[in-house]
Structure 1
């Protein structure tokens, strides 16, 4: 059996059994007894170890699959069974993105969170970005400057630019959190783009911000890059807020 020894799986109370099964699996992950790629015991065996019904185990597994923690595959042997997900980063991004979108946080709170995250990530990018990452950022920036670019495409490129900046910093957690927050704003930002009465002026202002950020990152100047990204985010918010109120 991969992962924890049988003795680690102690019986749980019957009340809300599936939640307690979830707790036991989480305990094994947090303790390091279960790691990415490890396979859980078979459903029947796990139910016996924990003293619960197979239905409770099945429901717990479905819950953790929905969160991206577990992956199940039909079959026997190496290719079958339920394993700890090999894509925890994507799961975290999806989880955060949905919760940011559903929680209806006040926009100023979201902006402050973006500023804190992206100031840190561009400082890191100024030190760690490699030539390929810088080339990708420049290509995204130039693509956004194309005349007659549809607003939908501009929004997608802008999203990719900010995510690429975060990824160039080399901090996976910061990149995932930046992705989640920016992704949760995709629809509101696009709506503001469409409501803008002067799209060329708005697009030009965003382009200037991107160029200031990238120039500082390419120069290895983390302080200037941090100041530039904060100015860009705040200016964009002010412009989008004005568009929303028109």
Structure 2
């Protein structure tokens, strides 16, 4: 059944456009994969200017529910998508930088999320997911891996395990929380006095974590990932607290 569009009020126009689109998503009239009408058609139907419509579409792109392809052809225009990971990661990273959340808040959120995801992954992980996780661990253990690549692989490993847990929301939140502190963790790794030893120690824990998940030992994996997170992330918290005390 075609979507029925109605004109919106003119005050705070782009917010009203957002509300109109949101209502159609909530009603099930718009789903992931659906395309919105072209701007030249949708703007007059809604009774708004094309600039107001574009502003609303940019907001939807930012929050990860729409992708806009410029130009002409079958792939051009705006399409409803489901892409929450990047959007939530960007949002959380900005709020963390602005001081909305402390390092302690992020640490505790990581602990809760990753304990849950590792324990669940031990029950639900597939052989294919195990193979992919193992490939990440193997690459992290190679001597030519530098700090930035190791940090990327480390992030991918933790997010991959969360996805293997079977809980999409846990996966998305884990990705967002880990991404919010990626720059700080990268800096901490770069400042390590003995990088090869640091990398080897971290990856030994990755290897053990993967072994526990593979063996279905979820409780032990949960305990180990908490120690793993607190050993590095907790150091960042301690360092920040020390600087605060020195400045006060």
Q: Is the TM value for this pair above 0.5?
A: yes
Distance 1:30 1:212, change over 3 A: same
Correspondence 1:159-198 to 2 at 5 A: 159-198=155-194
What's the RMSD between the two structures over aligned residues? 2.4
Please state whether the residue corresponding to 1:215 is helix, strand or coil: helix
Of 72, 75, 91, 1:75 maps to: 72
1:10-36 per-residue CA deviation (whole Å, 9 max, x = no partner) reads 332211111111111011112211111
Of 132, 135, 141, 2:137 maps to: 141
Please state whether the residue corresponding to 2:171 is helix, strand or coil: helix
TM-superposed deviation, 1:193: 0.9
Q: Is residue 108 of structure 2 the alignment partner of residue 112 of structure 1?
A: yes
Preserved contact between residue 3 and residue 39 of structure 1 (Cα < 8 Å): no
- Looking at structure 1, the residues matched to 68 and 233 of structure 2 have their Cα atoms a distance apart, in angstroms, of 42
Q: What does residue 89 of structure 2 align with? A: 97
TM-superposed deviation, 1:101: 1.3
Q: What does residue 206 of structure 1 align with? A: 202
TM-superposed deviation, 1:72: 3.2
Preserved contact between residue 195 and residue 243 of structure 1 (Cα < 8 Å): no
5+ residue gaps in structure 2? 244-248
Of 119, 123, 132, 2:119 maps to: 123
Larger mean CA deviation between 106-115 and 43-52 belongs to 43-52
Preserved contact between residue 32 and residue 80 of structure 2 (Cα < 8 Å): yes
Q: What does residue 236 of structure 1 align with? A: 232
Distance 1:68 1:12, change over 3 A: same
TM-superposed deviation, 1:148: 5.5
Correspondence 1:14-25 to 2 at 5 A: 14-25=10-21
- Looking at structure 1, the residues matched to 239 and 139 of structure 2 have their Cα atoms a distance apart, in angstroms, of 23
Q: Is residue 164 of structure 2 the alignment partner of residue 154 of structure 1?
A: no
- Looking at structure 2, the residues matched to 12 and 29 of structure 1 have their Cα atoms a distance apart, in angstroms, of 16
Please state whether the residue corresponding to 2:11 is helix, strand or coil: coil
- Looking at structure 2, the residues matched to 240 and 62 of structure 1 have their Cα atoms a distance apart, in angstroms, of 35
Q: Is residue 30 of structure 2 the alignment partner of residue 38 of structure 1?
A: no
Please state whether the residue corresponding to 2:7 is helix, strand or coil: coil
TM-score under structure 1 length normalisation: 0.84
TM-superposed deviation, 1:220: 0.5
Aligned residue-pair number: 237
